[in-house]
Amino acid sequence: MFYYNRYKDKVKNMFLCKEKRGFTLIELLVAMGLAFLVLLVIYMAYFISQTFFLGGTDTVEEQMYVRTLFSRIADDLQFLSRLNSLTENKDGMEFEIFNRRIIKTDPNTNDKLVEGNVVTYQTKESKNFEGVQFLILQKKIDKYEWWQRFGHSQKPNDNEDPPGYPDDMRDPVYGKQITENGEYEEILEQEYGKEFLMSKISFIPYDNIGQKIESGDDYNTLKMARSMRIEVEYKVRGRYGESLMMRTKVKGASTTIHFINFSILTQEEGQQSGSLSPTPFLSKFFTSLSFFIIR
C-alpha cells in the first residue's frame, strides 16, 4: 500500500508538472516564422496566379479592341471610291464612297438622283486616364446627292476642276450637293476603366503594284492608291505588378485593306490601259490573310 501511494503521487506530480510547463520564446518564434513562411507562399501563389489572370484578360481585351477597330475601318475603306487627302502625320484622312443608290429617277430625261458619303477620320487626345493619355479615333460622315445625268461620262477627267470627279458631279446645278452634315463620333466604343490605350495610328497608302506612296497628301497623288496599310501602337495597362514598367510597354498591330471599288490601271506609257477589277472574294481573302500582325 505504501509503494502504491508513492507511485500514485509520483504520476500525479508528473502530470501537474506538464500542466504547468509552457512554450519557450524560441519555440514561439520558430512557430511564428514557419506560419509566416506558409502564409507568404500562399500569398505569392495567389499573387502570381492573379497577375497572369489579369495579364491574360488585358491581352484578350486589347486584341479584341484591335480586331474591332480594324474591322470597322475595313467596312469603310474597302468600298472607298475616292481618297481625297491625308493629314500631314498620316493619322487622319478624308475619302468618299459613291453609294450610287438611286433615290429617284426623272421620267422625262431618265436622269437618276444618287447619293454618296464624305467620310473624315481624325484623332484626338483623351482625358488623363490614371496618369496615361491615349488617342481616340473619330469618324464623321457627311451625306451628299448628285444627279447622274443620262448619257454623261462617269469617268473622272483630271484636266477639269475639281479634279477626279465625274462630269455629273462637277455640274454647278445638278452636281454634288451636301444634304446632311454629320458629327464626329468614336469609331471604337470603349468600356470605362478598360479603355484601349492607343498611342499612335498611321494610314499608309499603296499603289496597284504594291509600292508605298511616299509623298503627297492630296488627291492628285492619292488617286493612285489601291490599298491602305494601317499601323497601330498601343500601351499596356499597368493594373498589376511592376506597374511603372508595364505603363511604358508598347505593342503594335497592323493590317492591309484593299479598295475593291477601284479598277487597277496599268502605269506604263504606251501600253493600253486595262481594267482589272479585284473580286470581293479575293479582296476579302487578302484582307483576312493580313488582318493583323501583333509585334
* Backbone phi, psi, residue 257, to 5°: -115, 130
Q: For the stretch 15-39, what's the b/e string if a residue is b when 16 or more beta carbons lie within 10 angstroms of its beta carbon?
A: eeeeeeeeeeeeeeeeeeeeeeeee
**Residue 39 domain-assigned (yes or no):** no
DSSP code at position 35 = H
CB 223 within 8 A of CB 164: yes
Strand locations in 13-167 (E): 82-86, 93-97, 102-105, 112-125, 135-148
CB 196 within 8 A of CB 188: yes
The predicted-structure confidence for 203-227, as pLDDT tens digits, reads as follows: 999 998 889 998 778 898 898 899 9
How far is residue 116's CA from residue 248's CA, in Å, rounded to a whole number? 43
* Backbone phi, psi, residue 240, to 5°: -145, 140
**Residue 3 domain-assigned (yes or no):** no
Q: What is this structure's pTM?
A: 0.70
**Residue 25 domain-assigned (yes or no):** no
End-to-end CA distance of the chain: 93
**Residue 122 domain-assigned (yes or no):** yes
Q: Which of 80-94, 190-204, 256-270 has the highest mean pLDDT?
A: 80-94
Residue 291: pLDDT over 50: no
Residue 263: pLDDT over 50: no
**Number of domains forming the structure of the chain:** 1
**Residue 90 domain-assigned (yes or no):** yes
Residue 276: pLDDT over 60: no
Provide the residue range defining the domain that includes 245: 63-289
**Residue 197 domain-assigned (yes or no):** yes
**Residue 228 domain-assigned (yes or no):** yes
**Residue 276 domain-assigned (yes or no):** yes
Q: Considering Cα of 24, then 25, then 30, then 34, what sign does the dihedral take?
A: positive
| Helical H segments across 89-210, by residue range | 167-170
